[in-house]
Amino acid sequence: MKRAVFPGSFDPLTLGHYDIIERGLKLFDEIILAIGVNADKKYMFSLERRLQFLEETFKDEPKIKVKTYEGLTVDFCMRENADFILRGLRNPADFEFEKAIAHTNRKLQKIETVFLLTSSGKSYISSSIVRDVIRNNGDYTLLVPDAVRV
């Protein structure tokens, strides 16, 4: 079975994430959406709410599992018997950052990172932009799946 972990904070889940996940389903038998928990980070949405966003959005997709984890992503992948990490790339800066993480992860464990380019119509969307739009009472509904529209 080809199992991938798609890690992130998903604060909140965006249409950019959704794009990568949907396209990743064609490549993998199972994708674990792994919400990383970082005690030092301030989140806009609670862990419970972020879990709800993911579970509701993918409730009809049996190839998707949603879990949380702390610590290194590669250690979580080993516990879950995942041989791949799935990541999305929006721009060259993402590539440079993600490349360094992928090399480090492969050094720590024998795990491959698979990169998918975000679809051109969604490459500008990021969770931080969505949070900024929400904070400023803008219409963020065009940037997120239905389950995130609170």
User: Model-level pTM?
Assistant: 0.94
Catalytically annotated residues: 17, 41, 90, 127
Closest alpha carbon to 77 in 7, 148, 1, 147: 7
Question: In the CATH hierarchy, which fold is given to the domain comprising 3-143?
Answer: Rossmann fold (3.40.50)
Determine the distance from the C-alpha atom of residue 24 to the mean position of all C-alpha atoms in its chain, rounded to a whole number.
11
Per-residue pLDDT of the chain (150 residues; tens, 9 = 90+): 999 999 999 999 999 999 999 999 999 999 999 999 987 889 999 999 999 999 999 999 999 999 999 999 999 999 999 999 999 999 888 899 999 999 999 999 999 999 999 998 999 999 999 999 999 999 999 999 999 987
Domain boundaries, the chain: 3-143
Closest alpha carbon to 115 in 93, 99, 139, 133: 99
Closest alpha carbon to 24 in 98, 90, 102, 115: 115
